[in-house]
Amino acid sequence: MLKEPRIRRLTISTFSIASSANPKVEKVYSNNFKIDIQIMRILLIEDSLSLRNSLSLGLEKLGYSVDTAGTGSEGLSMALLGSYEIIILDMMLPELDGMTILKTLRKRHLETKVIILSARSESEDKVAGLLAGADDYLSKPFSFDELTARLLSLMRRGAVNCLNDQVTINSLTLNIQFKTLSYNNGIINLTPNEYKIVECIFLNRHKIVTSEMLSEFISGSYDHISKNAIEAHLSSARKKVRESGASLPIKSKRGFGYRVVEANEINT
């Protein structure tokens, strides 16, 4: 189902989301937080109505713009005619299977990023999908957090342009293009993993970020970063930010994960 572009103004808690002159860009404000968001357009091709509806609803709540298709032929038509940053593609589809869709897109030199969803988890199926041009492969069943982490991983690799270059929270500025964190125009020298953890949590400002999401964001699908290692990286990042004269606006929620906090919540 193809949705018409919408320009909206919403109020969520203390945050205000207001459209800018560019209908694909929204600005989010609070007393201590400001970010410009360029909405990522996702095409979800999935024949299961319940899964299609639940994924679409969850992704839209995170701020993505989602179009859906329930058959392979409809999905291929939308993929070729629409402008999407990412396609989430089921393999077992009526009318036209996912592998045929993927090969057709690549044959036509369409470089939209593709995440495969499949009940097939054997390594040869994953290899076949990746060699056919997929950017990631997610076996069913999967958690919504894992899918979110895969989307963020594509973003981190520069695969999609869903955000403007900078995110500013409590005078700390994250430059996504140059992979730096700064305070009062001074660069805070984070290690690559420290930076990735901060980036992932900043980009998920409205939700809890689990250790599993952070591990996926840091190392991708084929490695695992332990919770203890994440805590060590965060502790080091907090120390470096304190030495610069600021406080890192990230707080752990025991048993759940990490979240962005307002200035008056931060324990210095």
CATH class of this structure's domain 165-265: mainly alpha
**Domain(s) of CATH 1.10.10.10: residues in the chain:** 165-265
In terms of CATH architecture, what is 41-142? 3-Layer(aba) Sandwich (3.40)
Decide if pLDDT at 181 tops 50.
yes
Contact by Cβ (8 Å): 259, 33: no
Q: What pLDDT was estimated at residue 64?
A: 85
Q: What pLDDT was estimated at residue 69?
A: 94
Average pLDDT along the chain: 79
Decide if pLDDT at 37 tops 50.
no
* Of 22-31, 49-58, 198-207, 247-256, minimum mean pLDDT range: 22-31
Decide if pLDDT at 12 tops 80.
no
Q: Distance between CA atoms of 134 and 118, rounded to whole angstroms?
A: 12
Q: What pLDDT was estimated at residue 32?
A: 41
* DSSP letter (8 states) at residue 11: E
Residue 17: pLDDT band (50, 70, 90) is: very low
**Domain(s) of CATH 3.40.50.2300: residues in the chain:** 41-142
Pick from 38, 31, 34, 36: nearest CA to 14: 31
Residue 95: pLDDT band (50, 70, 90) is: very high
Q: How far is CA 249 from CA 3, 70, 116, 128, 167, in A?
A: 36, 41, 35, 42, 13
Does the pTM of the predicted model rise above 0.85? no
> Which residues, in sequence order, are CB contacts of 199 under 8 Å at separation 6+?
156, 174, 176, 179, 217
Decide if pLDDT at 101 tops 60.
yes
| Residue of higher predicted confidence among 164 and 83 | 83
